[in-house]
Structure 1
Amino acid sequence: MWRLKAVWPAKYMDRMVAHMESAESLKDAGNDAVKRGEYAEANEYYTEALQLTSESDKALRAILYRNRSLSRLKQEDFEGAESDATKALEYDGADVKALYRRALAREHLDNVAAAFKDAKEALRLSPKDKAISEMLQRLVIANNEKVKKATSMDNKVNDMSRLAFEGSAKDKEQKVQGKSVPVLLAVAEDNNEPLEISVCAIRIVDELIKNHGRALLFLSMHDNDGLRSVRRVCRLMCARDAKEYVDAAGLILQRIFNALAKMDRSKEIKPDPEVAEGKAVHPLSDF
């Protein structure tokens, strides 16, 4: 028994050394593949090497994750590159290469704030690194543009809200009939506007026509011919392809049909058959 206990650790250590040597050789093969521009091949080598290591092999695992982050960056797998760089940093938070690579990945993922934080820390650790310095300058410009765009969008949203909601509740009919809704619809249907602005505009219109009377007023303002005006409202859903916009525009269409049938689900009021028949809309096959 005593002899077995003495021999087993030696065998175990031999096996561990063999694994380590194998993982090291796979790492070297991965590095050679990167030099040749064979990034998919490099990924396979690094992945296989990681599978041969254990959590106790911290230094080697950090290098493997950091290196695989580079090969994934080269393949434009930015999410994978970010994930690998993060894992490398869990072993060594001061790994400048891992910080730089994660910053690059985040820059491509448009996560400017997080990329800036990584680049700033990398430059602190390596102040003479030109590549990091240039990246930081890019990120400062990108961040300023984001702030400017966000401010512009906030101002547009505030302007649309004031246009729609300032004044008393009794003015809402005038807003539907007047300039407020046409202006909002023009914004909603303008493909040059950011999607967020178009969705906001269509939701404000939806808020304005929650009342059945205002919903019918909204319908009538498009055309005196009921069928053609319904077609016009239906086309709102086709202005943008994004699901978020289509869903918001669909609510307006639902309100119109509810108003035509005097239906209100929130109050459990079912469609009035006589009203629905009198305002029936034929299939819109060519809208």
Structure 2
Amino acid sequence: MQRVIGGRTFDFARRVAVMAIVNRTPDSFHDRGRTFALERAVEAVRAAADAGADWIDVGGVPFAPGPEVSVAEELDRVLPVVHAARDLAVVSVDTYRPAVARAAVAAGAGVVNDTSGLRDPAMADAIAGSDAMLVITHSLAAPRTPYPRPTYADVTSEVADFLQQRVQLALSRGVRPDQIIVDPGHDLNKNTYHSLELTRRLDEIARIGYPMLAAVSNKDFIGETLDAPQPERLAGTLAAVVFCVLRGARIVRVHDVRAVVDAVRMTEAMLGLRPPVVARHNR
């Protein structure tokens, strides 16, 4: 579970990495384009690093349906942020396009976050032979494509089977086992009941044997469970993050970095994985 990622060492047996989200998109589901302008994105990168983010996940195209974005436009959105972030934290690039992945890794990204789950197997080819990590995420639809009313006989078992199959595909194309991270894909082609059950049984995904990423921040399963609009989902997000860590998540992808860093560090301490920063009380 020890990995060198972007020149930094992570022991996922004893630590949880906090991944900050910085989207250069005008239609991201949470911030609605707040960091679309390059200067705002760079400010967000610096603020996330100052707040304690271990990783910064840069996205140029949302997973959700929307207008077409060319490869050239995605690169124009993503690469300047990679350059701005690479000396501050591990940089992850959220993309499903192999050409963007190759360029991002060449620019200094240490992780490629493929929310399409290797829908294009050439993504594995783009990572094989590099030092970058590959996040393999469960989803059913092609990116930017609607998938109404998804159904599962057993959502957790089906997600685990999908991830195991895609891991084998990545390995068959030269990706090393120590490059692989898995993500069950909360809310991606899943309804709220699916995401809640998947969270309850997240330890079954962890048993696949690779570091597990949980991307739950401000998602609709939290909003619908609490009847909370986007700006009012922090408490639910913190509860979901802590629960996921207890079920085996070792990377959490979030918007509200400082609050999540505190929640994660406290959870690590209660699990006996991290000592207190100071210990003066009744000493």
* Structure of higher CA gyration radius: 1
Greater share of strand residues, 1 or 2? 2
Greater helix share, 1 or 2?
1
